[in-house]
């Protein structure tokens, strides 16, 4: 197609397609584009004519995009990002930024990583706001693409080839026991680890699957508690010989707060990478670039210090 022919097409329709795919709703897309619902419906009709495809089917209150709609939307990533960069003001000032950032993350990151970046963030940009959302591991791509999350901070447990990412550092694993535990004053062997009851917490960011993989040829552990919050395990850790396996830096923070004993894993475990992940649509946004830089510098520095403090660097893959 010649450039002149592209000029004669209404390329605003492609922006409307992106919004429709993200919102899955004509009314919500109309609100974002400051249109009436009837005007948005006409835009959808013109899009269908332009692309010669129904683009969406209705399921309940939601619009389900066709393969053609998803394919065109993916193809828009790079050109729309380039246009955003080209048209955005070049003199970004975090001091006047009032953007609301939506961050998808885990309880682990909320307790042990992000709080250490927030003071600098608000020092540089006192008017920004944050909306923290629970991370949906199995739907991470969809959460960043259609859920309108700006950034995810987690251990990616599924392929993220279509997303951008930056490793913040490496995270190891340690165990927690009470001072009354039979192992509190002695080294923990593999037999000990397999013999005593365990608690696994969802805060642990996929640690359970990694532990099970490392112990694939060993007897199953006796799991007496699975919970979303660490407090459930802490409530009974003094009443039974419980072992709680969590990311190493979290273990040290919890041990200090609750007078617990930290024990090393009695088997080889490869530390895992912790990352921030974002959709290509955010790649060239000045406010997003600033946020990622601060998170990388502050959280990366924090993780590196903890790696040194707990001698994680002595553990080799």
21-36 average pLDDT score:
93
What is the mean predicted confidence (pLDDT) over 52-68? Answer: 92
Same domain, 105 and 139: yes
Most confident region among 62-71, 90-99, 305-314 by mean pLDDT: 62-71
| Residue 91 domain flag | no
Which one is predicted more confidently, 286 or 206? 286
The dihedral formed by the CA atoms of 59, 62, 65 and 70, expressed in degrees to the nearest 10: -150
**pLDDT at position 236 over 70:** yes
List, in order, residues 6 or more apart from 60 with CB less than 8 Å away: none
Q: Is 105 helix (H, G, I), strand (E, B) or coil?
A: strand
**204 and 161, same domain (yes or no):** no
Residues 255 and 178 in one domain: yes
- Do 111 and 255 lie in one domain? The reply is no
Across 75-84, 191-200, 307-316, least confident range: 307-316
Average pLDDT (290-315) is 74
Res. 298: pLDDT tops 90? no
Residue 35's pLDDT is what?
93
What pLDDT does 131 receive?
A: 93
User: Does 102 map to a domain?
Assistant: yes
Domain identity same for 260 and 212: yes
The residues, any chain, with a CB within 8 Å of residue 164's CB and separated by 6 or more, are 277, 278, 279, 280, 283
**pLDDT tens figures, 7-20:** 566 778 999 999 99
Q: Is the pLDDT of residue 240 over 90?
A: yes
Instruction: Evaluate whether 315 touches 271 at the Cβ level (below 8 Å).
Output: yes
Range of the domain at 196: 173-264
**35: domain CATH number?**
1.10.10.10
Q: Determine the Cα angle at 285 with ends 290 and 274, to 5°.
A: 55
The pLDDT value recorded for residue 249 is: 80
Is there a single domain that holds both residue 161 and residue 178?
no
The answer on pLDDT for 314 being more than 50 is no
179 and 248 belong to one structural domain:
yes
pLDDT at 310: 59
pTM: 0.66
The enclosing domain of 226 has a CATH number of: 3.40.190.10
Residue 178 has pLDDT above 90, yes or no: yes
Instruction: Average the pLDDT over 171-191 and give the result.
Output: 93
Most confident of 120-124, 216-220, 264-268, 280-284: 120-124
Pairing of strands 56-59, 223-227: unpaired
104-128: per-residue pLDDT in tens? 988 788 888 888 889 999 999 999 9
**How many Å is the Cα radius of gyration of the chain?**
24
- Give the helix ranges, DSSP H, for the chain: 3-7, 12-23, 26-32, 37-51, 67-75, 77-87, 107-112, 118-124, 140-145, 190-195, 207-214, 230-234, 248-258, 286-309
Q: How many domains does the chain have?
A: 3
* Residue 160 shares a structural domain with residue 24: no
């Amino acid at each position: 197609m010649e450039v002149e022919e592209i000029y004669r097409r209404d390329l605003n329709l492609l922006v409307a397609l992106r919004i429709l795919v993200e919102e899955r709703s004509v009314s919500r897309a109309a609100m974002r584009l400051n249109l009436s619902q009837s005007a948005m419906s006409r835009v959808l009709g013109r899009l269908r004519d332009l692309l010669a495809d129904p683009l969406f089917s209705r399921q309940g209150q939601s619009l389900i995009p066709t393969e053609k709609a998803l394919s065109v939307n993916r193809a828009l990533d790079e050109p729309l990002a380039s246009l955003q960069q080209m048209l955005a003001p070049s003199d970004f000032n975090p001091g006047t930024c009032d953007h609301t950032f939506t961050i998808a993350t885990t309880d682990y990151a909320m307790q042990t990583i992000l709080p250490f970046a927030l003071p600098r963030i608000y020092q540089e940009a006192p008017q920004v706001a944050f909306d923290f959302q629970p991370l949906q591991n199995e739907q991470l791509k969809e959460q960043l693409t259609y859920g309108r999350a700006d950034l995810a901070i987690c251990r990616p447990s599924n392929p993220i080839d279509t997303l951008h990412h930056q490793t913040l550092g490496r995270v190891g694993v340690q165990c927690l026991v009470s001072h009354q535990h039979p192992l509190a004053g002695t080294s923990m062997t593999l037999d000990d680890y397999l013999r005593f009851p365990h608690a696994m917490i969802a805060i642990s960011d996929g640690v359970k699957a990694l532990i099970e993989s490392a112990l694939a040829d060993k007897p199953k552990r006796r799991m007496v508690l699975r919970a979303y919050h660490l407090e459930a395990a802490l409530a009974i850790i003094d009443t039974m010989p419980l072992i709680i396996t969590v990311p190493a830096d979290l273990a040290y923070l919890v041990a200090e707060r609750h007078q617990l004993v930290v024990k090393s894993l009695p088997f080889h475990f490869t530390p895992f990478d912790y990352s921030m992940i974002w959709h290509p649509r955010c790649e060239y946004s000045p406010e997003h670039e600033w946020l990622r830089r601060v998170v990388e510098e502050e959280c990366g520095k924090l993780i590196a210090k903890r790696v040194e403090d707990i001698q994680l660097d002595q553990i080799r893959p």
